[in-house]
Chain A
Amino acid sequence: MADPENAKEATTLRYAFGNVLSFFILLLIGVLAFWIRLFSVIKYESVIHEFDPYFNYRVTQFLTKNGIYDFWNWFDDRTWYPLGRVIGGTVYPGLTLTAGTIWWILNSLNIPLSVETVCVFTAPIFSAFASWATYLLTKEVKGAGAGLTAAALLAMVPSYISRSVAGSYDNEAVAIFALIFTFYLYIKTLNTGSLFYATLNALAYFYMVCSWGGYTFIINLIPMHVLLCIVTGRYSSRLYIAYAPLVVLGTLLAALVPVVGFNAVMTSEHFASFLVFIIIHVVAFVYYIKGILSPKMFKVAVTLVVSVGLVVCCAVMAILIALVASSPTKGWSGRSLSLLDPTYASKYIPIIASVSEHQPPTWPSYFMDINVLAFLVPAGIIACFLPLSDASSFVVLYIVTSVYFSGVMVRLMLVLAPAACVMSGIALSESFSVFTRSIKFQLHGLSGSSQVDSGDASSSTVVAQNDAGKAEKTEDTAKERPSKKSKKKEKGIVDKPSLKAKIERRLLVLPFEASIFAILLLVLLGAFYVVHCVWAAAEAYSAPSIVLTSYSHDGGLHVFDDFREAYAWLSHNTEVDDKVASWWDYGYQTTAMANRTVIVDNNTWNNTHIATVGTAMSSPEKAAWEIFNSLDVKYVLVVFGGLVGYPSDDINKFLWMVRIGGGVFPHIKEPDYLRDGQYRIDSQATPTMLNCLMYKLSYYRFVETDGRGFDRVRQTEIGKKNFKLTHFEEVFTTHHWMVRIYKLKPPRNRIRGKTKKPRSQKTSSTTRTKRSAATKRNPWH
């Protein structure tokens, strides 16, 4: 007798605790997102990773030390010598300001964390925020169940982990959060039509603009969606409220960021938004007119306006196109152009093509980075069409565009990841709801008029899933139906949902065994995904890249800490104002860790300057010395992996130096360095190659290590073995020879006639004569 009462109590309890439960699940997802990114700290140490994060870290240090106003006005003379760089005007300040604010808040609460600690942990914290934002976005699209699934998937998607492990203090870490949150607010505004959310949306967009150059993705995707809605006849006042304030406020706010400034209205990346802004106003006007005119009058008005409007539009478009076409790059930046035309960069801008993360990805990298999501995405897209709403059409558009962009650049895989998570979350949660509903229905049907009723059925499914160990999925089923309904309610399709839904449900019932089996398979799939993500976080993406480790066969850990060894040597044992030349990859690290002035760095804003360094590296010793001397360089740093087999060293990057150098200084020709189109450093290599500075600095006295000079990266013996340096001297080489630092020998005194005693006089010349003598001989001035 008490059975039905119990069941009812259970259902009410389920709803009552639904919110609390989903709150705790979200909390756990946040914790998961944070913890899974700590592998790098546990396996290595709490240190800033890679290259760009070092620059961000240095900027943050400056910000916390000198305050916000000095930060905006910061002219950095430690880099791009002798040009310098206006940091405040050329950096996306979002990340720095975020970390600076966190640091400031903590310190004002008397929690004295160091800037480094804050920087290291900013990315994991924002990953947690990003997964919450994903929950919100997906909840707006397909309900809370899908939201929770998507959030759990995003918390550990390897693609995002690769950019946001602890220590990876890069713009993307906060930008992905900003991206998802902006999309959420857009969808929220679209669903509610509330100006409040529209304003928040503009602010979130502002934060995104502050954080990452990828904001152009937002400002192109949203107009595309608006256009799609208009074309498919889904225009509504909510759409107008979602879009118009975003363009006006967003553009005004974006122009406040120094690095964007007037680009927000001048460059082609933003034109789409303005065009759609005009179109939506026209459409809004048409709808308004339609409302106040009779159908007949309206037709007349349409023909009149269309004929006049077309003429005006054509004229305006013609002017615009003429304006845009008059600039050489059509008003697009190089990176954006290479997005539109994937072959553009490799044809015209080697410096963009030379960065590995700007290369197109390979198929395995899709599997590596989004794993099983790649298979779930199509299902998610189908689920989005049942039924198609404004919100679900947006995520469909989002996934389609981001798949394209990720196909162009590896780096943009990061934009694909959230879309894939949202889609997979929808797919998983929909399929779970279908299967559990079938099971529930079947149980109900089987029992017929016997005692087993819905409460028992649901509890039995709960048990089944608990066995599989997927707690969050349980919640999915619990939250599925209510949320779906709430969404329908919001959209005002109140006509006859109950009957319709019922018929649909009846149709979707699957056989009992099939459902159980399918659920098991899905759980397995999810488990596989989790295992893969943990593996990726632990093994693939946690290496800080400034510290390398290897395991010897007896299981011992060997640490290669050569980069920091070299930077520490530079910072302690050279003069504060010495200039260090190296390939641009190491620029940020040198300024941040060694605190020495560099010639070029990872900002790559001045192609000529980089080309000069590339030319010097590709020139013979004497010519290189002259170039470096004219740049006031005192030390040259090269990275050499031949002794221990570290593959990303300067010799492997050397062809890019030749290409970039040759792009500006035509006397450097790539074929001179290639033998029959092959890049080689053994005895078959060309004499130009064997005599260039990079070769000599890398292999100086290398042959003496093992007697024959076997390069472990290239797996070959080097071509030229015994040679001496005449214009450079080795001042430091790290323990595993990974970094070698050379000093430019001072110029010889000019003696009447020929130089006789080159060695004994080197100390007596002054810098001034050195410079003037050098500039005269330097061919690049």
Chain B
Amino acid sequence: MGFWWRFNLLVFTIAILSTPVLSDLILSKVDRRIDLTSQIVRITSTLKVENAGSGLVSEVLLAFPELQAKNLVYLMATTNEGKGKTKSSGVSLPVEVANPKGMPPALTVYSVSLPKALGEGDTMSLDVLAVFTHTLKPFPEKITQADIQLVLFQDSAYYLSPYAVKFQSLSIKLPDARIESYTKIENTKIHGSEIKYGPYENLPPFSYSPLVVHFEINQPFAVAQELVREIEVSHWGNVQVTEHCNIVHEGAKSEGEFSRLEYQARPHIRGSSAIRHFVAKLPPRAHSIYYRDEIGNISTSHLWADSKKTELLIEPRYPMFGGWRTAFIIGYSLPLQDFLFESEGKRFLNISFASPINDLVIDNLVVKVVLPEGSRDLSVSTPFPVKQRQESKISHLDVVGRPVIVLEKADVVPEHNQYFQIHYSFNKLSMLREPFMLISGFFFLFVACIVYVHVDLSISKSSASYLAKLQWDEVRATIQQVESIINQCLATHEKIEASLRDLSRIGDVQACKTTRKTADGLLKEHSKELKPLLAFLQSSPAAANILPKVEELVAKERELQERWMAKHSIIVDCYEKKLGGREIENRVAPQQQKVVALRQEVEDLLEYIDEI
């Protein structure tokens, strides 16, 4: 690696020799701070730009060597309008790739458009934040469980710029751990875990002095090779977010044995570089949180929630050593009113772009926003350029599918975790469509049932079985009539019985007799009514097997009737003769027994016929 770096340097030197000065800008002061405490390298440079020439200058060029440029994932320049140390974070300036003529090919140049052109002698202060991923190279590349993880970082000790730099300094912040080696040039100081280079003064454009730091870092190198976020908006009050993470530990590869014993006994020595957990900062009021992978729930997670934030600590199924992979899904629901707003008759969703997991580098992020079915006029506004396309997804009870906006972006770091907006219009009535569909579905099901029960589905109206069925229906109707008549007779008997009871209580013989008379009349009527019905049953062939029962029933009923009458006359007789209670009992007893037995039989028969 060292050799390759030197070769690169050679290219640069050639480039430097052959390049003219681009413009009359000079950087009067450059202050660089490199943060190496995590796998994401953040270089913050404060530039004081001065126009030493005569013309107006409206853009400042920032140069990065190609090696760095291909890992540059985020670049932001802000101006500090406020003078001096009062750092009111200023306006961020548009930055774009520039290809000015005469630049060395090994440099990638970005141009920052200034808010107002700098006149002669004007100065301006710029803050540039550049974020790089995959720049810390593990060295050695493979370590065992017992080894510590060492990485190399390379940069230039001088600020690489197309402009002359008057005064510059550089400080490198390292994690609190061992520093294996670092390049020592003039004015190098080490102060705890911070290395300071500079100040250097009056360096020409494209000055370059290679700088290598080799140090221990035990921060996780968690890289999500692909992360798919699905944000599903439901107007019933819920935003469901599902994140499919596919994570690899991109630190030094682990080789040799993995001993759980060593790991459990001395976790911070044997396995210091392993990823133990991730922390995800979810929005406040997130609920229904789950953490699982394709083979089920993962039980190692903790959740802390308060009104400001919801913090989810998730442990992978196993500690992740260098080169190990894992995949999991986290999902959570958010209250709709926190993220969906309405303006000018349109709705817009305002939600953060990147994953809530801390310190995660995402190589390829896909954000899918699923809007409710029936959303129209979709438009997206994002704070940085992303690839977008549209597809549709069919979910619960959908007919045409829900519109899905797919946003894709490579190389995403926490700095990208900004809000983006999706505007769309939606008719409120569409919300009621799915409940209506369900209701109508059940409605038609029941209607179909009713229709099925009531419609005669027999194929032939003249077939023997159909006719038999019709006949049988008739027979049944007749039998029912017979039954009802018998029941009426039984009711009459009850009346007689009641009158007898009254008699025993009050002794009103006359009333009893009148009851008897009316009962007689009723019973006669009933037997008259019965005759045609029985005649019909006898004539009908379908009733052949039930006829004996019916006839038995009628006969039994008649007998019962007679017994009642007999009993009644005996009792009335007795009363008229003013006989004692015991005497009456004795006389009635045989009748009474018969009555009870007959009545039971009649009831049994009725029940039996009922069944048919």
Contacts and interface: CB of A to CB of B under 8 A. Distances in A.
A4 B300 CA distance: 70
Contact of A489 (B324, B395, B494, B612): B612
Given A498-B549, A561-B300, 8 more contacts: A4-B494, A8-B487, A110-B394, A482-B607, A559-B299, A572-B327, A735-B260, A735-B318
Nearest to A109: B397
A572 B324 CA distance: 7
A647 interface: no
A497 B498 CA distance: 33
Contacts of A497: 608
A737 B318 CA distance: 12
B194 interface: no
B488 to A, nearest CB: 10
A194 to B, nearest CB: 13
A489 B325 contact: no
A108 to B, nearest CB: 10
B442 interface: no
Interface in A724-781: 729-735, 737
Contact of A701 (B261, B394, B604): B261
Interface in B282-317: 293, 295-300, 317
Interface string A530-548: 0000000000000000110
Contacts of A335: none
A20 interface: no
B607 A481 contact: yes
A111 B438 CA distance: 13
Interface stretch (B47-55, B251-259, B444-452): B251-259
20 contacts: A4-B490, A4-B491, A4-B494, A8-B487, A111-B397, A112-B396, A449-B501, A482-B607, A482-B610, A485-B607, A485-B611, A486-B611, A489-B611, A494-B545, A501-B604, A569-B324, A729-B257, A730-B260, A733-B260, A734-B318
Interface in B582-612: 592, 600-601, 603-605, 607-608, 610-612
Contacts of B327: 572
A561 B257 contact: no
Interface residues of A, number: 45
A142 to B, nearest CB: 16
B394 A112 contact: yes
A567 interface: yes
Interface in A695-733: 701, 704-705, 729-733
Interface in B447-477: none
B497 interface: yes
B318 A45 contact: no
Given A111-B397, A565-B318, A730 B324 contact: no
Interface in A572-623: 572-573, 593
Contacts of B396: 110-112
A290 interface: no
Interface in B382-413: 394-399
Nearest to A54: B295
Query: By CB atoms of chain A within 10 A, which of B318, B327, B497 has the most?
Result: B318
B37 interface: no
A111 B434 CA distance: 12
A110 B604 contact: no
Contact of B324 (A110, A498, A573): A573
Given A110-B397, A502-B600, A502-B604, A568 B293 contact: yes
Contacts of B607: 481-482, 485
A85 interface: no
Contacts of A45: 296-297
Contacts of B257: 729-731
Nearest to B607: A481
Nearest to B487: A8
Interface string A427-451: 0000000000000000000000100
A547 B258 CA distance: 23
Contacts of A729: 256-257
A15 interface: yes
A727 to B, nearest CB: 13
Contacts of A300: none
B258 A565 contact: no
By secondary structure, the B interface counts as mixed
Interface of A: 1, 4-5, 8, 15, 45, 47, 110-112, 449, 454, 481-482, 485-486, 489, 494, 497-498, 501-502, 546-547, 559, 561, 564-565, 567-569, 572-573, 593, 701, 704-705, 729-735, 737
A124 B607 CA distance: 40
B326 interface: yes
Contacts of B610: 15, 482
Contacts of B325: 572-573
A731 B258 contact: yes
Given A731-B258, A737-B260, A47 B601 contact: no
Interface residue range, chain B: 35 or more
A334 B251 CA distance: 55
A524 B611 CA distance: 33
Contacts of B498: 1
Contacts of B490: 4
Contact of A564 (B256, B317, B398, B612): B317
A28 B117 CA distance: 80
A572 B592 CA distance: 91
Interface in B135-186: none
Contacts of A111: 396-397
A569 B318 contact: yes
A567 B295 contact: yes
Contacts of A546: 296
A434 to B, nearest CB: 17
Query: By CB atoms of chain A within 10 A, which of B260, B300, B494, B592 has the most?
Result: B260
Q: Which 7 A-B residue pairings sit nearest by Cβ, starting from the closest? A: A733-B260, A47-B296, A572-B325, A559-B299, A45-B297, A565-B317, A568-B317
A732 B256 CA distance: 11
A116 B153 CA distance: 47
Contact of A47 (B265, B297, B326): B297
A524 B568 CA distance: 49
A110 B395 CA distance: 6
A112 B324 contact: no
B537 to A, nearest CB: 16
A225 to B, nearest CB: 28
B261 A704 contact: yes
Contacts of B603: 454
B296 A564 contact: yes
Contacts of A561: 298-300, 317
Contacts of B601: 498, 502
B259 A733 contact: yes
Nearest to A725: B257
Contacts of B494: 4
Nearest to B610: A15
Nearest to B256: A729
Nearest to B325: A572
A112 B296 contact: no
Contact of B395 (A112, A481, A547): A112
Nearest to B321: A573
A318 B296 CA distance: 58
B260 to A, nearest CB: 4
Interface in B235-282: 256-261, 265
A582 B610 CA distance: 68
Contacts of B611: 482, 485-486, 489
A433 B62 CA distance: 96
Contacts of A15: 610
A374 B375 CA distance: 62
A497 B607 CA distance: 12
A363 B259 CA distance: 45
Contacts of B608: 485, 497-498
Contacts of B259: 701, 730, 733
B296 A498 contact: no
Contacts of B394: 110, 112
A47 B608 CA distance: 53
